[in-house]
Amino acid sequence: MKHLPALALLAFSSASLAAGCGSGDTAATSHGTSGSASTTGSGNAGGGGGAAMTTGVGGETSSVGGGATTGTGTTTGATTGATGSSTSGSTGAGGGMMAVADPDLDGPYPFKEIDDTTTVAATGHMVPIHAAYPTGGPTAGPYPVILVAHGFQLPPAQYNGYVKRLASFGYVALTADFPASLFSVNNVENAKDLLGGLDWAATKAELAGKADVNKAGATGHSLGGKVSIIAASMDPRIKASITLDPVDSSMNCTPANCPDASSLVPMLTIPTGFLGETTDATAGGFGQACAPAADNYTTFYAGAKTPSLAVTVTGANHMSFLDDTASCGFTCSFCKMATAPNAQVNSLAKAYVVAFYERHLRGDLGYDTYLTGAKAQARYVTTNQATIESK
């Protein structure tokens, strides 16, 4: 086990939507009114397609990605303004009618967000929940459930972009605000609190017929990445896990309460993915590394069984995976300065999370192109945004 000074607690804090890429992108927005239909669309002649937003009177919002055509054609989505729901008629990447929709754009499912609190039976903790779930779209439920674990001393709201992107692709996604204090550190209890989100989803009335808790995924950032791996080792309902710059710090915690998560990875028989960075692999101005090389994502990937992937994000720092580092405050100041824009890294990370679960929870082989194949190489490797390993 690794035991780190108290100052490392803040340094190990774990915890923009990209509208599309490529020349020729266009984006359109229209708002339905009660009883009327509105159309949205976007297309390009060689780019990745812009994002089109639709909003109905019902208050729900959904995003339908623009489709890329072989020439200069456009795509159109039909929207019912009275209910606020929308479906996509796209014939290009990003639309809901295709087998493979661009994970860098919002998907074709309208969704609703809800806030609640649950008492986790295993710990007795009161845990706030923020969730988003599909209210329509190309397919009916039940939908896989994705748990999103926050970083140390970071608000779960910094990961709402992941929750909403997943919901737009037909997942029930949620954050569980497990307590992660400076004292009485217990990562096993953190994992149990995170898993309490599955129990909540299984019994929440609004999610009846929508949440498939037996086909679940666990995603987390920094401490949340470690907690996700511990949760996956504890509960067979977790069928896949992709983490964001996980840090395997014990933070002066006992081995029983804070097990070495990288040593648990070889025992997992589920698909895994690890996004990370090396900027914060060494100590910064406060004397501690935010994601030290001895505890970072590479130590998780090293022991992972096939299938697994590791994505090293160029120019990112430990906090680059948050939705908005500008609002992160004092916690983010402990890490080194990133050279890659926050929006760029966040966009890449959300796309990877969606593509990973489409591939490994839904079994859509077409998403390999966005994980390790031609699309990933063109978008991230040839543009020097990332390097990719897989096994």
| 51 and 153 inside one domain | no
The angle formed by the CA atoms of residues 24, 29 and 35, to the nearest 5 degrees, is 145
CATH for 168: 3.40.50.1820
Alpha-carbon distances of 157 from 89, 129, 178, 194, rounded to whole Å: 32, 11, 13, 15
Determine the pLDDT at residue 210: 97
| 52 and 154 inside one domain | no
Domain holding 80, by residue range, is 31-88
- Token output for 243: 């983490």
Q: Is residue 97 part of a domain?
A: no
Name the burial class of residue 390, with classes exposed (0-12), middle (13-18) and buried (19+) by CB atoms within 10 angstroms of its CB.
Answer: middle
The domain boundary residue, chosen from 88, 118, 136: 88
- Token output for 212: 């498939």
Fill in the DSSP letter of residue 222.
T
Determine the pLDDT at residue 250: 76
| 256 and 193 inside one domain | yes
Please give the sequence-ordered ranges of beta strands (E in DSSP) within 237-370, or none if there are none.
238-244, 272-276, 308-313
| 369 and 227 inside one domain | yes
Determine the pLDDT at residue 283: 84
Determine the pLDDT at residue 45: 35
| 81 and 115 inside one domain | no
| 129 and 187 inside one domain | yes
Along the 391 residues of the chain, how does pLDDT read in single tens digits?
Answer: 333 333 333 333 333 333 333 333 333 333 333 333 333 333 333 333 333 333 333 333 333 333 333 333 333 333 333 333 333 333 333 333 357 999 999 999 999 999 999 999 999 999 999 999 999 999 999 999 999 999 988 999 999 999 999 999 999 999 999 998 777 789 999 999 999 999 999 999 999 999 999 999 999 999 999 999 999 999 999 999 999 999 998 777 899 999 999 999 999 999 999 999 999 999 876 668 899 999 999 999 999 999 999 999 999 999 999 999 999 888 888 899 999 999 999 999 999 999 999 999 999 999 999 999 999 999 999 999 999 999 9
**CA-closest candidate to residue 174, choices 227, 121, 116, 122:** 116
| 344 and 379 inside one domain | yes
% of residues, the chain, pLDDT over 70 = 74
Contacts of 31 (CB under 8 A, 6+ apart): 38, 54, 55, 56, 81
Instruction: Check if the beta carbon of residue 14 is closer than 8 Å to that of residue 152.
Output: yes
Q: Is residue 96 part of a domain?
A: no
| 73 and 175 inside one domain | no
| 81 and 153 inside one domain | no
Q: Which H or E element spans position 85?
A: strand 85-88
Contacts of 361 (CB under 8 A, 6+ apart): 144, 215, 217, 239, 240
Q: Is residue 54 part of a domain?
A: yes
User: Which DSSP string do the residues of 351-387 spell out, in sequence order?
Assistant: HHHHHHHHHHTS--GGGHHHHTSHHHIIIIITTTSEE
User: Which DSSP string do the residues of 114-172 spell out, in sequence order?
Assistant: EEEEEE-TTT--EEEEEEEEESSSSS-S-EEEEEEEPPTT--GGGGHHHHHHHHHTT-E
Report how many helices (DSSP H) and strands (DSSP E) the chain contains, helices first: 8, 17
Determine the pLDDT at residue 285: 65
Residue with tokens 């217990």: 186
Determine the pLDDT at residue 88: 32
Q: Which amino acid is at 254?
A: T
Fill in the DSSP letter of residue 278.
S
CB atoms within 10 A of CB 330: 9
Q: How many domains does the chain have?
A: 2
Instruction: Check if the beta carbon of residue 312 is closer than 8 Å to that of residue 387.
Output: yes
| 300 and 380 inside one domain | yes
Q: Is residue 283 part of a domain?
A: yes
Residue with tokens 């923009």: 16
Instruction: Check if the beta carbon of residue 329 is closer than 8 Å to that of residue 304.
Output: no
Q: Is residue 217 part of a domain?
A: yes
126/390 Cα distance (integer angstroms)? 39
| 146 and 63 inside one domain | no
Alpha-carbon distances of 384 from 267, 355, 387, rounded to whole Å: 33, 20, 8
| 128 and 189 inside one domain | yes
Contacts of 163 (CB under 8 A, 6+ apart): 113, 130, 131, 132, 148, 173, 174, 175
Q: Is residue 342 part of a domain?
A: yes
Model pTM score: 0.77
